[in-house]
């Protein structure tokens, strides 16, 4: 009698992702969901600020967090999605400073072909510090993320400045 051969289910292994792959995919989706929520939150903050004066807001005053360089970079990154989607417009004011404002809902939803220029923005820590000083930014217009996997509730309460309130 010949020895029995062990049967493998190679097709099943190649077709189904492993648990590690599933976890990576889940983490990517989770990160995208957090980013989408943060982008929506930023849009609502911009809209409220714009409606107060009905005038564009200084881009640097809007995105800079005077307490955190990394949050500033994150805010710029998140605003880029709003620009890409046609929900906000960035232009130059009379003094050639960039200003940001929400687009009317018709322009954002129809995604009309607009005259646009793409600009890559980079900022270093020394430039960030100079902007904080030059624009006299004391408080961030965009509060610290309300959803963060890396921050504890305690840290979020510290950033909000109120005990027991999570930003």
Domain harbouring 52, CATH code: 1.10.10.580
Instruction: Please indicate, yes or no, if residue 149 is contained in any of the structural domains.
Output: yes
Number of domains making up the chain? 1
Q: Looking at the domain assignment, is residue 16 inside a domain?
A: no
Say which range, 64-68, 82-86, 131-135, 154-158, has the weakest mean pLDDT.
154-158
* pLDDT value of residue 72: 96
Does residue 1 lie in a domain region? no
Domain presence at residue 43: yes
71-82: per-residue pLDDT in tens? 999 999 999 999
Q: What is the pLDDT of residue 35?
A: 75
For the ranges 79-93, 132-146, 152-166, which has the lowest average pLDDT? Answer: 152-166
Determine, yes or no, domain membership for 7. no
Q: What angle do CA 41, 46, 50 make, to 5 degrees?
A: 150
Task: Tell me which residue range forms the domain holding 93.
Answer: 32-160
Mean pLDDT of the chain: 76
Model confidence pTM above 0.85: no
Cα dihedral sign, 71-152-149-102: negative
The DSSP call for residue 71 is H
Query: Taking the alpha carbons of 125, 131, 136, 139 in that order, is the dihedral positive or negative?
Result: negative
CA distance 86 to 1: 73
In a domain, 84, yes or no: yes
């Amino acid at each position: 009698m010949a020895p029995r051969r062990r049967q493998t289910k190679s097709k099943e292994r190649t077709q189904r992702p492993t648990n590690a792959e599933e976890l990576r995919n889940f983490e990517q989706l989770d990160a995208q969901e957090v980013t989408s929520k943060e982008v929506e939150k930023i849009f609502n903050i911009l809209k409220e600020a714009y409606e107060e004066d009905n005038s564009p807001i200084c881009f640097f005053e809007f995105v800079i967090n005077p307490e955190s360089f990394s949050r500033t970079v994150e805010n710029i990154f998140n605003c880029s999605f709003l620009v890409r989607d046609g929900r906000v417009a960035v232009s130059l004011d009379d003094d050639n400073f960039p200003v940001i404002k929400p687009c009317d809902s018709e322009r954002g939803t129809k995604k009309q072909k607009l005259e646009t220029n793409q600009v890559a923005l980079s900022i270093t820590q020394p430039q960030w510090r100079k902007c904080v000083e030059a624009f006299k930014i004391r408080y961030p217009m965009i509060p610290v993320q309300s959803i963060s996997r890396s921050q504890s509730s305690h840290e979020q309460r510290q950033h909000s400045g109120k005990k027991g309130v999570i930003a």
